[in-house]
Amino acid sequence: MRFDRFFVMQPEDAARYARHRGFFAPDAALSCREIGDGNINYVFRVRDEATGQAIIIKQAGETARISDAFKITTDRVRIEYEMLRRYNELAPGLSPKVYDYDDVMHCFAMEDLSHLTIMREALIARRRLPHFVEHITTFLVQTLFYTTDIALDPKEKKALVRRYINPDLCEITEDLVYTEPFTDAKRRNDPFPPNRDWIAREIYGDAALRREVAALKWQFMTEAQALIHGDLHTGSIFVDERETKVIDPEFAFFGPIGYDVGNVVANLMFAWAHAEATIEAEMERSDDLHWLEQTIAGVVDRFQAKFLAAWRKDARDPLAHDEAVARDYVSRIVADSAGVAGLELARRIIGLAHVKDITSIADPERRARAERILLRTAKMLIMRRVAHRDGADFVETLKAARAREDASLASTDGE
Amino acid sequence: MRFDRFFVMQPEDAARYARHRGFFAPDAALSCREIGDGNINYVFRVRDEATGQAIIIKQAGETARISDAFKITTDRVRIEYEMLRRYNELAPGLSPKVYDYDDVMHCFAMEDLSHLTIMREALIARRRLPHFVEHITTFLVQTLFYTTDIALDPKEKKALVRRYINPDLCEITEDLVYTEPFTDAKRRNDPFPPNRDWIAREIYGDAALRREVAALKWQFMTEAQALIHGDLHTGSIFVDERETKVIDPEFAFFGPIGYDVGNVVANLMFAWAHAEATIEAEMERSDDLHWLEQTIAGVVDRFQAKFLAAWRKDARDPLAHDEAVARDYVSRIVADSAGVAGLELARRIIGLAHVKDITSIADPERRARAERILLRTAKMLIMRRVAHRDGADFVETLKAARAREDASLASTDGE
């Protein structure tokens, strides 16, 4: 079979394809496994049995792998490939290297990262990641500040905006993150049954909350602030104790910077809730929570510090040479991040796509409590987002939500 | 000469061109005049001497007509043509009809409006325009609300965003409106000499003002809210006592709605300042000012009312079906409009491009005073833009600025 016309590859095709593209010697003995765990793409690991060397081939189908009825543009793979190349330039070492792009087969080849672990799994396994805060904040500032109008030539930026308009993938976010969790509009939400009534009352029943969500949605749909990753949860990050690699930027487009920062923060909060609910020994739990709280606060604070440093060094707009202007700008990003963190918490609990940090809490009561703590956190983050000025504010909100949940439980017990 | 390769036409070429495109009979006796008064394009009026029928041919050069050194994309004429077609669909009767587009000659043909007057001239001549408020607010709501994500399918909207990215013309606005008047960055500002020191102190010397201008600039550069006209001053509107026709949408792109609304308001304020400075008879002056104040307030209030009515009728986003959400949205537009009105007032007085309403005030002291009143208005509009909630607030700011100017003059007199 040749590769001059698109088809969805099987592992044996991917191995032959990798050889065909010159990644392996013609006589190499190759093995290949499909290792994709997402809903829409195919990911092949092709390995030379003799040398142990491997590469990844990622392919996009013309429909999602979970459903032929779900058509989704293959342009996403072009965007993902180009973004990874940009990441390698803007934030070297913090993404897989990419080798090759094929717009016929809608696939590209990249560095094999199988020595690393998906961050969500690492956090559930209670691994400490001593460099994560520094790595991810460098990644955020390098990829985000340097694609704003503050740092780029405005015409070059507008050309990039045009290049990365991403209607299909934005629609997924608009529906699943910004709309459905607060309205159950398409009846696709999937709340944990014990919390169903609570969610109906506290979320669907809260018009003031929906009003703030609407404002955040219009911002997501209109604000071309920087070239964001668009799906930066802990399932999009490979880690170990030394390395951090961001993957999967197929949702990339020019959107609000807070969308990326807020997703990182929210997904650390899932890990916090997991630890809170599952670690039995008091001392161990408190240690783990403390590390996660420091990590949450560290992401916000180091992001701000590095963003301001990059601004001072490289802002090119004539109005930008003023510390107060820079601080206004970054404060607004932090407030936006709080709002987005709230949205991500809510949608992963109420909406269609859940996270293992929560679903793996075996005890139903503990899981229900963890969810309510995070949903209370979500509401506070959304409603009082401008009150969130630094990392400590985020941690305080999380703890206040736990205190409220415990107080509410205590008062219910007394009924 | 044929028309299969681009060249800048002379009037005799334009007449032959109009015949060539079939607008006139082969044997019609045609006259043609170049009637463009702008800095960048050529506008030809071709007239059949026998029937009196005429059409307009508008052509874009590859450089601006004022300077060969100033290169500017001819894509602007494609945008202008397409926008006028959209206007005819979205707001019928409020723009010239367009007949023909030629992407070789970079020109298009449209309805002759020479029975109408440019609104700036009409206002300077103290004509009352009884339908202007209703016409322009219908135009604004029809062209703006119906190109937001609230009313459009989000994917269709993103396709339009891509289609109307307009880097060259946005750059002009970014420089001339948002940057230079507050920094004199390229030393192109051209303040009226008697106000030079006052402007240096009150504008260039005001860091807090520049900080708010920066926030407005980032908004202009990032917020793809609706397909705005982008240059909606009273020189872009033809009027008489019955008709209103918006022309010249070559600056169109997806930007903040307040940019269009604020430009209309600011240019009515120029007419107010002209009347205030030039009409001798107390009663006549007060009558004219009253009409202009009602017009300013009417634009803001009728815009809001019609925008909300359109929202109630045609909002399609699931989060939009809530009066509070609609009111939040329109309130933010009104605040943005205040900010933009302030910017437009400042840039037309301080910056490179002046308006006749002000330059035609013959008495230098009166002109200087009129400018200072408007610059004081500008500062209040920018600094306290969120305090502007309805039309009366805009008029109050204008009057408060006059009172401040008079008080300051009185205290200087006492020195």
Q: How far is A65 from chain B (nearest CA, A)?
A: 22
A40 versus A166: the higher-pLDDT residue is A166
Please, which pLDDT band fits residue B217 given cuts at 50, 70 and 90?
very high
**Helix segments in A91-206, DSSP class H:** 119-124, 132-144, 154-163, 167-173, 180-183, 196-199
Mean pLDDT of chain B, nearest integer = 96
Q: How far is B365 from chain A (nearest CA, A)?
A: 32
Read off the pLDDT of residues B119-158 as tens digits, 9 standing for 90 and up.
Answer: 999 999 999 999 999 999 999 999 999 999 999 999 999 9
10 Å Cβ neighbour count for A331? 15
Whether B185 contacts chain A with CB within 8 A: yes
Read off the pLDDT of residues B331-372 as tens digits, 9 standing for 90 and up.
Answer: 999 999 999 999 999 999 999 999 999 999 999 999 999 999
- Total-model pTM: 0.96
Instruction: Report whether pLDDT(A66) > 80.
Output: no
Task: Kindly provide the ipTM of the predicted complex, given to two decimals.
Answer: 0.95
What single letter denotes the amino acid at residue B107? C
pLDDT of residue A37: 78
Instruction: Report whether pLDDT(A414) > 50.
Output: no
Nearest Cα residue in chain A from B175: A318
Sign of CA dihedral B226, B229, B233, B234: negative
Determine whether the interchain pair B210/A182 forms a contact, defined as Cβ–Cβ distance below 8 Å.
Answer: no
Fold observed for domain B11-105: Phosphorylase Kinase; domain 1 (3.30.200)
Whether A329 contacts chain B with CB within 8 A: yes
Instruction: Report whether pLDDT(A413) > 70.
Output: no
Whether B7 contacts chain A with CB within 8 A: no
Determine whether the interchain pair B328/A215 forms a contact, defined as Cβ–Cβ distance below 8 Å.
Answer: yes
Q: A159: which residues sit within 8 A by CB, 6+ positions away?
A: B165, B167
Determine whether the interchain pair A222/B218 forms a contact, defined as Cβ–Cβ distance below 8 Å.
Answer: no
Determine whether the interchain pair B217/A319 forms a contact, defined as Cβ–Cβ distance below 8 Å.
Answer: yes
Determine whether the interchain pair B174/A155 forms a contact, defined as Cβ–Cβ distance below 8 Å.
Answer: no
Helix (H, G, I), strand (E, B) or coil at A70: strand
Helix (H, G, I), strand (E, B) or coil at B9: coil
Average pLDDT on B259-287 reads: 97
Q: How far is B292 from chain A (nearest CA, A)?
A: 34
pLDDT of residue A71: 85
Determine whether the interchain pair B183/A223 forms a contact, defined as Cβ–Cβ distance below 8 Å.
Answer: no
Q: Contacts of residue B210 in chain A, CB cutoff 8 Å?
A: 319, 322, 325
Task: Pull the structure tokens for residue A343.
Answer: 């949205």
Nearest Cα residue in chain A from B225: A222
Looking at the partner chain, which of B183, B210, B320 has a beta carbon nearest the beta carbon of A214? B320
Q: How far is B267 from chain A (nearest CA, A)?
A: 25
Domain extent listing, chain A: 11-105, 117-414
Read off the pLDDT of residues A350-366 as tens digits, 9 standing for 90 and up.
Answer: 999 999 999 999 999 99
Determine whether the interchain pair B222/A224 forms a contact, defined as Cβ–Cβ distance below 8 Å.
Answer: yes
Whether A386 contacts chain B with CB within 8 A: no
Q: How far is A4 from chain B (nearest CA, A)?
A: 29
CB B161 within 8 A of CB B324: no
Read off the pLDDT of residues A322-350 as tens digits, 9 standing for 90 and up.
Answer: 999 999 999 999 999 999 999 999 999 99
Q: How far is A257 from chain B (nearest CA, A)?
A: 12
Read off the pLDDT of residues A123-150 as tens digits, 9 standing for 90 and up.
Answer: 999 999 999 999 999 999 999 999 999 9
Q: How far apart are CA A172 and CA A252, in angstroms?
A: 12
* Nearest CA among A295, A232, A294, A279 for reference residue A259: A232
Looking at the partner chain, which of A183, A221, A320 has a beta carbon nearest the beta carbon of B214? A320
Determine whether the interchain pair B182/A215 forms a contact, defined as Cβ–Cβ distance below 8 Å.
Answer: no
Read off the pLDDT of residues B8-32 as tens digits, 9 standing for 90 and up.
Answer: 999 999 999 999 999 999 999 999 9
Q: How far apart are CA A17 and CA A11, in angstroms?
A: 10
Residue A183 exposed, middle or buried by CB count within 10 Å (0-12, 13-18, 19+):
middle
Average pLDDT on A109-118 reads: 97
Q: How far apart are CA B43 and CA B33, in angstroms?
A: 8
Read off the pLDDT of residues A195-254 as tens digits, 9 standing for 90 and up.
Answer: 999 999 999 999 999 999 999 999 999 999 999 999 999 999 999 999 999 999 999 999
Instruction: Report whether pLDDT(B390) > 50.
Output: yes
Whether B162 contacts chain A with CB within 8 A: yes
Determine whether the interchain pair B221/A154 forms a contact, defined as Cβ–Cβ distance below 8 Å.
Answer: yes
Count helices and strands (H / E) in chain B.
Answer: 15, 12
Instruction: Report whether pLDDT(A415) > 60.
Output: no
Q: Contacts of residue A218 in chain B, CB cutoff 8 Å?
A: 149-150, 225, 329
* Nearest CA among B297, B384, B293 for reference residue B338: B384
Percent of chain B with pLDDT over 90: 91
pLDDT of residue A392: 98
Please, which pLDDT band fits residue A70 given cuts at 50, 70 and 90?
confident
Give the strand pairing for A30-34 and B30-34: unpaired
Which of the four CATH numbers 1.10.3720.10, 3.90.1170.50, 3.90.1200.10, 3.30.930.20 does domain A117-414 have?
3.90.1200.10
Dump the DSSP string for A203-269. Answer: IIT-HHHHHHHHHHHHHHHHB--EEE-S--SGGGEEE-SS-EEE--GGG-EEE-HHHHHHHHHHHHH
Name the phi and psi angles at A57, rounded to 5: -110, 120
Instruction: Report whether pLDDT(A1) > 70.
Output: no
Whether B317 contacts chain A with CB within 8 A: yes
Instruction: Report whether pLDDT(A65) > 90.
Output: no
Nearest Cα residue in chain A from B147: A222
Instruction: Report whether pLDDT(B1) > 80.
Output: no
Please, which pLDDT band fits residue A38 given cuts at 50, 70 and 90?
confident
Whether B171 contacts chain A with CB within 8 A: yes
Percent of chain A with pLDDT over 90: 91
Same fold, B11-105 and B117-414: no
First-last CA distance in chain A: 71
Mean pLDDT of chain A, nearest integer = 96
Nearest Cα residue in chain A from B327: A211
Instruction: Report whether pLDDT(A411) > 90.
Output: no
Task: Tell which of B319, B343, B383 to mutate to test the A interface (max A CBs under 10 Å).
Answer: B319
Q: How far apart are CA B331 and CA A285, in angstroms?
A: 47
Please, which pLDDT band fits residue B71 given cuts at 50, 70 and 90?
confident
Nearest Cα residue in chain A from B254: A222
Q: How far apart are CA B382 and CA A331, in angstroms?
A: 20
Whether B160 contacts chain A with CB within 8 A: no
Read off the pLDDT of residues A378-410 as tens digits, 9 standing for 90 and up.
Answer: 999 999 999 999 999 999 999 999 999 999 988
Taking one residue from A and the other from B, the number of pairs with CB-CB distance under 8 angstroms is 116
Q: Contacts of residue A227 in chain B, CB cutoff 8 Å?
A: none
Q: How far is B326 from chain A (nearest CA, A)?
A: 9
pLDDT of residue A304: 98
Average pLDDT on B215-228 reads: 98
